[in-house]
Amino acid sequence: MKPRSILLLCAVFVAACASSSAFAQSDAKKPVDDKRPAIVKETEFSWKRARKWTLDYVDAMPENAMSFKPTPEVRSFAEQVLHLAFWNYGLAEAAGGKANPYGKKQETLEKRDDVKTKAALRKVVEESYDSVLTAIAGLDEAKMLEQVQFFNSKFTRITVLAIALDHQTHHRGQTTVYLRLKGVTPPPEP
């Protein structure tokens, strides 16, 4: 390879690295001097990603399909997503201490008709993720590793947050079938 070609190739590589680094910084919207522990930053990243994806699912489902059930025995689309939101709040309570605004019974939220429009559903879901993200923001590495009461057991806060992330993924995954049955292509992974 000629020296000029090598120089050009190096310049392209440096430009590509610089632009991807700039993209990563702007995408994260975090200052470069973010000194929070990796465990906190990575947990926050996972929850922000989950939030976006779940809201994309809500946005994708047509307004007239919020009450859709694939079979009579299962939750409607709105009830699935409200169940997810209720437990986001509940699990954020275990991790961060802020009480679930919908109490202790999931039916309190799932059966409310006033939150089954697309706009109201989206608001409840968004606020549930905000509750989790607020809980995460109040934690440092030591607090992430502290044990908290979780149902009849004790787990570290990071484990509670991982269980919560798994739970919301499970229910969002169930709604993939609902979208497909309504002829909607599920949103791509963010």
pLDDT (tens digit, 9 = 90+) per residue, 32-57?
678 888 999 999 999 999 999 999 99
Residue 84 above 90 pLDDT? yes
Range in 76-80, 87-91, 102-106, 121-125 with the lowest mean pLDDT: 102-106
pLDDT one-digit tens code per residue, 126-178: 999 999 999 999 999 999 999 998 888 999 999 999 999 999 999 999 999 99
- Three-state DSSP class for 149? strand
Per-residue confidence (pLDDT) for residue 93, from 0 to 100: 85
Counting every residue written for the chain, the total comes to 190
Per-residue confidence (pLDDT) for residue 186, from 0 to 100: 95
pLDDT band at 17 (very low <50, low <70, confident <90, very high): very low
In angstroms, rounded to a whole number, what is the distance separating the alpha carbons of residues 187 and 56?
A: 6
What sign for the dihedral angle of Cα 179, 127, 84, 158? positive
- Identify whether the C-beta of residue 179 lies closer than 8 Å to the C-beta of residue 65: no
What is the Cβ-side half-sphere exposure of residue 133, based on CA atoms within 13 angstroms?
15
Per-residue confidence (pLDDT) for residue 143, from 0 to 100: 93
- Every domain of the chain and the residues it spans: 37-181
Contacts 24+ apart (CB under 8 A), 125-129: 125/54, 125/55, 125/58, 125/81, 125/82, 125/84, 125/85, 126/51, 126/55, 127/85, 128/84, 128/85, 128/86, 128/88, 128/89, 128/92, 129/47, 129/50, 129/51, 129/54, 129/55, 129/88
Superfamily for the 37-181 domain: dinb family like domain (1.20.120.450)
In angstroms, rounded to a whole number, what is the distance separating the alpha carbons of residues 65 and 78?
A: 9
Mean of pLDDT over the chain: 83
